[in-house]
Amino acid sequence: MRKLLLILFAGALVFFGFGFVSKVDNPEKDKLLLEVISYVLERGHYSPKAINDRFSEQVYMNYLDGLDGQRRFFLKTDINNFKRYKTQIDDQIKGASLDFFDLTYKQMVTRIEQVKNFYPELLEKPFDFNQTDSISLDYENAAYAINLNELKSIWRKRFKLSTLDRFVELKEIEQNKVEEDSNYTPKADTALEVEARQSTLENTQNFFELFEELERKDWFSIYLNAIALQFDPHTSYFAPEDKDRFDASISGKFEGIGARLQKRNQEIKIVEIISGGPLWRDKLIEVGDVILRVAQKGESSVDVSGMRLDDAIKLIKGPKGTQVVLTIKRVDGNIEDIEVTRDVVELEEVFAKSSIITSGKDTFGIIQLPKFYFNVDDYGERNAASDVKLELQQLRSKGAKGVILDLRNNGGGSLKTVVDIVGYFIEEGPVVQVKSIGGRKEVLKDEDPSVVWEAPVVVLVNEFSASASEILAAALQDYRRAIVLGSQQTFGKGTVQNVIDLNRVISGNTYGNLGALKVTTDKFYRINGGSTQLEGVKSDVVIPNRYAEVNVGEKDQENPLSWDRISPATYSPYAPQWSYSYILERSKQRMQDNPLIALVQKQARWIKSQQNNNVYSLKYDDYIKDLESDRARSDEFKALREFESPLSFQWLPEAGSRQPLNDDIREKRKRIDEGLQKDMYVSEAVAILQDLNRNVLGKSPVAQSQK
């Protein structure tokens, strides 16, 4: 069976900055990429688009939004100059021409340099927070500046908002100090304004420093992704470095030293040490240390100061068992060389984890599954399915009478792991139907008659449960093997993506690594024949959450594929062990009787209204009034934050973990259990499990009357 990946990329293209100078300028490679990607998209996409003038117009709009969606750099004259290509991009693609890209790229470099040169002077003079003024952050409807003076005014206003926000924060800190110590003399407003403005300056310097990290190829990736986006929201181009990050995210592991790095002021700094990795295990480095030089064992060292972060990471990472020598500047200023043996580093937060729930004399379990992970190169390595099986066995050994599968915020992953996981709850049968290019249909089945878990199941979902999460919830729902609890519907992503190595598409490539294309190649369907595309999975028990009114699903993305239906697979729902109608009625009644539910609905409406509020006052008094109003509204929902169930939670060591338990992991798991105790959705899931245990058919009043 093919490796099928289901990954949620719900947002549109988001880019924070681009490089000023083209360090690696290779137009011929760009032309080749354009040809290869258009070839793959036209022949390999599930629903290819006609590359015509309409297509061109959409690429044009998405590309400009990717470059300068906040209208910070381009002038109206620039846009007028670009418009001649609005209906010509299709011809540019077919002819592998870079004229439009080169024009926008060069003009963006020019404009960024201009902003970089003038922004410091905008922060030299104090801001007057007594003036009546406001700013709109409705970027979508904002006009481009007519000239540089107007562009300066736009930047000045945004600086003022940022500085005002920090000024208010500093002023509150001073007021708190006075309340704690009546003898404390607070800083003057003028001093606080200077401090706040300096903070804005430093943040802006860091912002432009990030720009300098990127090269022409990063800009070109934006252009390629604007093209890919027209086919559907989940088709995208991966530059070589992005493909590496993708593989790490889907497998939950990588090979290296076990640290997260950040570049600030031309220094590469350790900002986090990953638990279980070589640095953590051998206590070699501390957060805040700076990496000055990198050497492979037995080779000369390379100065990484001023180097692009991605390039430095390439030197630092490497295969398990190899050595790298780092020259480190400690936080105290000492400089020393340390030798690190690289190893496999597991990202603990990605993997399945379980806790025992105690409610009176009843014991239940919850398995939290952030994604359906697997090793891209070797499915036999640690994956979500094998870990969930171990967690289920662990919970069963603890006497759990039911389990909650928490798929909230799970954006997808490997489809094969879903088939395996569903198989733990049914004897055997179809799990999902996959329809490929040309209409070919494949039914993926669980062929193992053994059942790992026979007790009741509740699946927790929300609007951010997507792709593989939806297939798992749908299959258990169709088999009547679980009750789905959560939002009105899940995300609604019913498409399958495969990652195609572009280097294998052509032969004789002399331009280096071309990267990869994640392209939609299939649609999947429930075993009942319905698609989860756009419609998602409808919860059996709907509990609203704070995002209930926010448009976040597949239907709210650009260019989603349509919903449709195919013939159902041959399957038999489980003979009812429980009176589901009775169970669901009891749950709905609890929702009606719960005053917090009405409060959640009110909060959701408020959050929706806040989304549409894009105008902010730049006058201190008005800003404070708005802030106090927001805080007052937030206080209305205090009861939601204070909710605490009578349940008790005890986390279990991860059954699939190869890392030793350590204080960091213990603290993380403790906080997770504290969060579960304040989670009313988990509380209702437990109540449903209790009903399922107490109301087996033949015992409940409803069931008896149905005999």
Percent of the chain at pLDDT > 70 equals 93
pLDDT of residue 12: 27
Domains in the chain: boundaries: 49-230, 253-346, 348-433+444-491+527-584+646-706
**Tokens at 555, concatenated:** 């239907």
Which has more pLDDT, 200 or 305? 200
Q: Are strands 413-414 and 353-359 parallel, antiparallel or unpaired?
A: unpaired
pLDDT of residue 614: 86
pLDDT of residue 703: 31
Beta carbons of 52 and 94 less than 8 angstroms apart: no
Catalytic: 621? no
Average pLDDT, the chain: 87
Other CB atoms within a 10 A radius of the CB of residue 171 amount to: 18
C-alpha closest to that of 156 among 192, 90, 204: 204
Judged by DSSP in three states, 368 sits in strand
Say which of 218, 478, 522, 691 is annotated catalytic.
Answer: 478
Summarised one tens digit per residue, pLDDT across range 394-426 is: 999 999 999 999 999 999 988 999 999 999 999
Catalytic: 493? yes
Q: Token match 């995002």: residue?
A: 547
Q: Which fold has domain 253-346?
A: Pdz3 Domain (2.30.42)
Q: Report the number of secondary-structure helices (H) and strands (E) in the chain.
A: 21, 24
Segment 364-373 mean pLDDT: 94
Catalytic: 332? no
Segment 323-336 mean pLDDT: 83
**Is 222's pLDDT higher than 70?**
yes
DSSP string, 517-577: EEEEEEEEE-TTSBB-TTT--B-SEE---TTTTS--SGGGSSSPPPP-B-PPP---PPPPS
Beta carbons of 579 and 702 less than 8 angstroms apart: yes
> Which range, of 17-31, 441-455, 555-569, averages the lowest pLDDT?
17-31
Q: Token match 């406001």: residue?
A: 134
pLDDT of residue 13: 27
Q: What is the distance between the alpha carbons of residues 111 and 67, in angstroms, rounded to a whole number?
A: 12
Q: Are strands 429-436 and 441-446 parallel, antiparallel or unpaired?
A: antiparallel
> Which range, of 260-269, 533-542, 638-647, averages the lowest pLDDT?
260-269
Summarised one tens digit per residue, pLDDT across range 628-639 is: 988 888 888 899
Summarised one tens digit per residue, pLDDT across range 584-638 is: 999 999 989 999 999 999 988 988 888 778 899 999 999 999 989 888 888 888 9
Segment 156-171 mean pLDDT: 94
Percent of the chain at pLDDT > 90 equals 61
Query: Looking at the domain that runs over 348-433+444-491+527-584+646-706, which CATH code has it been given?
Result: 3.90.226.10
Say which of 269, 389, 493, 518 is annotated catalytic.
Answer: 493
Residue-wise over 461-498: b if at least 16 C-beta within 10 A, else e?
bbbbbbbbbbbbbbbbbbbbbbbbbbbebbbbbbbbbb
Beta carbons of 589 and 263 less than 8 angstroms apart: no
Phi and psi for 47 in degrees, rounded to 5? -135, 75
Say which of 236, 355, 386, 467 is annotated catalytic.
Answer: 467
**Is 6's pLDDT higher than 70?**
no
